[in-house]
Amino acid sequence: MLMFYILGFIVALGLAVLLTPLVKKFAIKVGAVDVPDARKVHTKIMPRLGGLGIFLAFMVTLLALLPFVSEYFTARDNRFIYAFIIGGTMIALIGAMDDKFQLSAKIKFLAQIITACVVVFAFDIRIDFVNIPFVDAYSSLELWISIPVTIFWIVGVTNAINLIDGLDGLAAGVSAIAIGTIAVMSLIMGNIVTAMVCMVLLGSIIGFLFFNFHPAKIFMGDTGSLFLGFSLAMLSLLGFKQIAVVTLITPLIIIAVPLSDTLFAIIRRFLNKKPIFAPDKGHLHHRLRDLGFSHRQTVLIIYGIAAFFGVLAVIQSAAAIHEANWVTFVVICVMMFFLQIGAEVIGLIDKTKRPVLNFFHKLRMKAAEAKTKS
């Protein structure tokens, strides 16, 4: 199987490099372009639809590999692959239509729910049990819980990637790091289906990044961000069933950057009494730019954060295999601490409210006073 992993990665990367310039010309021809406005950092009209290059490179490579690797698949593996292909195609079409016609948020949201329902009801892909953290036990989920939780997961993660797509190469790079993390975990655990899909998708993204990293020649648009979000949702979802030792926490760690940015955005807009789906310039990449970092530096910093969480996910997953539940507890504490400190330093929720930093500041002041008195 190692040969197929490497071959899939190389072929997908090559196809993405070849197809993306063609997609760029097509996007310009059909008028699928991004016009700069007050919220955006680019200053000239840019072609969108770049995600079509990722999608086509991935699908062509995957379909070409299937006849050679299908003998290694179980019945559920086959259901997952078909669900991925059909659901991914549906979500890419939604994104492509939005890149061209600027669909309303409600229409896109409804289409995402329909796609998630197809995955759940047509292919029976569901979160039907979870590994309970810190306890060597599993909890089965009833249908009335399993189905909405799965749909919520798919739709939520799909939109999380879309929300961080604000700088050249940002969403693609963060997605690549998350998918690379899942690939490493899958190889460690012997999950051949997930590993193969990850390697093909990783090649497609890296090939596209040659044209999307700053200064970008093309944007991935909603075609790319929605497809990558859906892909991450599906790949992490597979772990709930086939990687039994992975707890509910692990997929959340893998995609901690987009999910936390989404969560902070919701809290920020709620506190400011703004609609949850209303756009603003308070996202992680916006705040880093406000702090004086360049476009490229901001993207690289966020790459580093995503890689840090990826390492935490691998550590937690490896510890779960050996039933070292204390490691899971440490990983969660470290993750929550850095998320809170980072959010306060950068000002993701509010530029003035910094409870944890203020607490440490008071401790330092008291220690300094005590030292002066002594």
pLDDT, position 351: 66
CA–CA separation, 342 and 349 (whole Å): 11
pLDDT, position 326: 66
Q: Which residue has the higher pLDDT, 355 or 45?
A: 45
CA–CA separation, 226 and 174 (whole Å): 14
Question: Which of 57-71, 154-168, 270-284, 316-330 has the lowest average pLDDT?
Answer: 316-330
Number of domains in the chain: 1
**Distance between start and end Cα atoms, the chain:** 68
pLDDT, position 358: 77
Mean pLDDT within 246-254 = 66
Contact in structure between 184 and 283 (CB atoms under 8 Å):
no
Q: Which domain holds residue 119?
A: 2-373
Contact in structure between 299 and 214 (CB atoms under 8 Å):
yes
Report pLDDT digits (tens) over 278-317: 666 777 877 888 888 888 999 999 999 899 888 888 887 7
Predicted structure pTM score: 0.85
Mean pLDDT within 62-86 = 91
pLDDT, position 246: 46
pLDDT, position 342: 78
Question: Which of 15-19, 155-159, 192-196, 345-349 has the lowest average pLDDT?
Answer: 345-349
CA-nearest of 141, 100, 138, 136 to 120 is 141
**Where does residue 52 rank: exposed (0-12), middle (13-18), buried (19+ CB within 10 A)?**
buried
Q: Which residue has the higher pLDDT, 133 or 66?
A: 66
Report pLDDT digits (tens) over 255-282: 888 888 878 877 777 777 777 666 667 7
Q: How many CA atoms lie within 13 A of 130 on its CB side?
A: 17
Percent of the chain with pLDDT strictly greater than 70: 85
pLDDT, position 44: 75
Q: What is the mean pLDDT of the chain?
A: 83
Angle between helices 143-163 and 256-271 in degrees, nearest 10: 90
Contact in structure between 247 and 129 (CB atoms under 8 Å):
no
Report pLDDT digits (tens) over 228-247: 999 999 988 775 444 333 44
pLDDT, position 324: 56
Report pLDDT digits (tens) over 190-215: 888 889 999 999 999 999 999 999 88
Percent of the chain with pLDDT strictly greater than 90: 41
Mean pLDDT within 96-112 = 93
Contact in structure between 232 and 255 (CB atoms under 8 Å):
yes
CA–CA separation, 21 and 27 (whole Å): 10
